[in-house]
């Protein structure tokens, strides 16, 4: 186990050498790591990063420093690199993706920081940027945490409504499953595959610049209309 961990650290550090020497979003980091895995011959069926890179699905990490990858990026900085992971770029990119979509939803496994990180895209639009777009259209949560403990993982959809993260009229359609995600998600996925027709992939990673420009334009327009 130790050898696998140390080999993984060495692989990550080697991959960092071919990234730009500047701040980047975590989507750029994960896409790069996934591409390196594909080049190394890793079967994408056995790697989330490799499959996401292959299909241009952006992956974001809400707390990138809280990980072995973040630890190696920190070591890279001690060696003089200017490569850093920019959480503000992540906030803008995820908000741009949500802004562009005609319908938005969320499937949450557990909770914690990643839960709020995605849900906050809606209040980022209306509260901070002044873009009047409502909350998410659907909400499915699989969690083992009960709400009475007060933790984010157990927070209910009704709590999210109070922050404008979920549309109030969609509250009756929200779903909370109390159980083990490793059991519930495969069952849910198998059901969806048998019921839903395949759709074209969105390839959102390749559209980040375009979506960011759309967000900037909308923000500029909102500022001209009313600036609190």
Decide if 165 is catalytic.
Answer: yes
Whole-number pLDDT of residue 226: 52
Catalytic residue among 17, 165, 202, 224: 165
Whole-number pLDDT of residue 227: 52
Whole-number pLDDT of residue 14: 95
Query: What is the C-alpha separation between 119 and 155, in angstroms, rounded?
Result: 12
The alpha carbon of 128 is separated from its chain's Cα centroid by a whole number of angstroms, namely 19
Q: Is the dihedral of CA 82, 88, 94, 100 positive or negative?
A: negative
* CA diameter of the chain: 58
**pTM, entire model:** 0.89
Q: What is the pLDDT of residues 89-131, one digit of tens each?
A: 999 999 999 999 988 888 989 877 888 899 899 999 998 999 9
Instruction: Write the CB contacts of 179 (distance below 8 Å, at least 6 apart in sequence).
Output: 142, 144
- Across all residues in the chain, what is the average pLDDT? 89
Of the ranges 25-39, 110-124, 128-142, the best mean pLDDT one: 25-39
């Amino acid at each position: 186990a130790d050898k696998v961990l140390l080999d993984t650290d060495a692989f990550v550090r080697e991959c960092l050498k071919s990234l730009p020497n500047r701040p980047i979003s975590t989507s750029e980091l994960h896409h790069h790591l996934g591409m390196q895995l594909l080049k190394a011959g890793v079967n994408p069926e056995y790697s989330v990063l490799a499959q996401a890179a292959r299909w241009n699905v952006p992956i974001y990490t809400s707390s990138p420093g809280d990980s072995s990858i973040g630890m190696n990026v920190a070591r890279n900085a001690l060696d003089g690199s200017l490569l850093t992971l920019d959480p503000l770029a992540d906030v803008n990119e995820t908000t741009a993706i949500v802004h562009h979509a005609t319908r938005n939803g969320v499937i949450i496994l557990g909770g914690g920081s990643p839960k709020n990180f995605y849900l906050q895209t809606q209040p980022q639009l209306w509260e901070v940027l002044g873009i009047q777009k409502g909350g998410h259209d659907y909400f499915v949560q699989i969690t083992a945490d009960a709400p009475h403990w007060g933790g984010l993982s157990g927070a209910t959809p009704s709590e999210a409504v109070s922050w404008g993260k979920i549309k109030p009229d969609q509250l009756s359609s929200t779903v909370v499953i109390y159980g083990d995600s490793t059991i519930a998600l495969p069952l849910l996925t198998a059901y969806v595959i048998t019921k839903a027709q395949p759709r074209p992939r969105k390839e959102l990673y390749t559209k980040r610049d375009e979506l960011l420009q759309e967000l900037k334009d909308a923000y500029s327009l909102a500022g001209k209309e009313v600036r609190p």
